Structure 1
């Protein structure tokens, strides 16, 4: 079976020119030298890669394009950012590009749009922006993207490149997306590795998924600032008044005083004796001792939570 596939790959061959240089590609070249991942690409995927390189004039030998295959998932054909820039610059209507990052500070109301990938230590990176100019258009093509939507993750955490240089990565991704929108005929079917999640990577974690309903950078900024405020000031997370449980009042009997109990028994006996003999109540035996004072530490009520 493997030999049959190899024969098919041998028959797959394209030849074209890139910047005056002749490029010759075969299926075996793609399979053995230009495929990344842990699985072998199918003949159909091989032909798709050969066709893309030929018609988009990409040179895979300098990493302008390559293919990734993990397990049984469909292969991904990846184009480098440099290839996007070369293709855009070769268009006679291309008139430049600007790009940067979007960052917020807890003390500022509005986000800061940086030029380049420089973020201050007291700022939090939330997204990237890019603006492409064309000579045949009055209005430039501008896009703004959020970090949570495009950041690549593994096991719920940013992948190594996104963790070490997130500002540079989100700026590059913004540039690619803006170039694709500005030149759909030239770049419409081309994707970089940051446009798609690799099969080996895990889905977005719960905190990132919660950002899915954010539709603009202002909503994202507000949400991120609230998260920063809570993280820096734990006092803000105390329960609201209406969330607290009502205090219950529990009535508690005082401890029995033995002296008072003895007095009560004496009065009870005197009353029964008078009732039996028919004597006046004024002659009843009573205890004329001073009333016993209550302990000031005793209380009728106490609060329980």
Structure 2
């Protein structure tokens, strides 16, 4: 009797990924995963019951400055989070979403084409809770931006939809912490690819706000070392990296340098480092910064000649 009870308790709640599923994932969605990353991803799929083939859950790789390499993060779609909530048996629907502008007045539909909503909020209900669980998300905290600091295509075209998904994800995780703990939606994590600082991270620096140099002599002493780990935990290294980024920005956009516009500079960097996933200066490795600076110096020298 006890043996049967234990066996039932150990039975997986959801369908486990088969060997065929694992082989397909290894060749496709998880091609960049290390062996450990892959096992972690598969285990998360099995425990949550989310289907990677339905894009309910998937791995994302982002540069880690300390490790100087791409690190895997597991993300889920908003549909996947809704599915987890529904399967719990306690989900009783939602209230909202609602949006507000700078006046702080909440609306059940966002109609403005001239400005983005400041925030959105969503309430999630549970059968075993008396009150609605509300969560609010500020647009500025989650918006994904381009090199020029403006919202990217999705956030610029569907700002109300994107920020509402962030608020819903927050509310769902708040209502179902056991099931959704540590799982974040794509919309919530979009901003993780943004530059970390306004001046050093983004290429939205105009000639008026760019670091001023008479002859760009600072670039000669501010290159980063290829052997130096990214984001080393010392003030010296952090400041050195920030100076290098500012110097590179000046070399690209100053009239004394290459004199590129923000969009042109972004394309130039992508070509130089041969990467299309660059989202800002902060996403460059130290090796890539050094390469860009050397290439820019050579280009400036030819331009002067």
TM-score normalized with structure 1 length: 0.53
The alpha carbon displacement at 1:195 in A equals: 2.2
Q: 1:64 aligns with which of 56, 68, 72?
A: 56
2:263 maps to: none
2:24 maps to: 29
2:247 maps to: none
Work out whether 1:181 is the aligned partner of 2:174. yes
Q: In structure 2, how many angstroms separate the alpha carbons of the residues matched to 1:137 and 1:82?
A: 23
1:169 maps to: 162
CA contact (8 A) 2:62 2:73 kept: no
The alpha carbon displacement at 1:203 in A equals: 2.7
Q: In structure 1, how many angstroms separate the alpha carbons of the residues matched to 2:198 and 2:81?
A: 30
Work out whether 1:41 is the aligned partner of 2:36. no
Higher relative contact order (CA 8 A, sep 6+): 2
How has the CA–CA distance of structure 1 residues 63 and 121 changed in structure 2, closer, same or farther, with 3 Å as cutoff?
A: closer
For the aligned residues, what is the CA RMSD? 2.9
1:50 maps to: 42
CA contact (8 A) 1:16 1:24 kept: no
| Unmatched 5+ stretches in structure 2 | 1-10, 64-68, 203-305
| Unmatched 5+ stretches in structure 1 | 1-14, 210-305
**CA deviation digits over 1:124-172, x for unaligned, max 9?**
5101101011121112110111100011223223222111111100001
2:92 maps to: 95
How is 1:1-305 mapped onto 2 (pairs within 5 angstroms)?
A: 23-24=17-18, 28-35=23-30, 40-70=32-62, 72-104=69-101, 110-116=103-109, 118-121=110-113, 124-155=116-147, 156-197=149-190, 200-203=193-196, 205=198
**CA deviation digits over 1:5-46, x for unaligned, max 9?**
xxxxxxxxxx9775xx6742565433321148xxx2222211
Tell me the secondary structure at the aligned position of residue 128 of structure 1: strand
Q: Compare CA radii of gyration and give the structure with the larger one.
A: 1
Structure with the bigger percentage of helix: 2
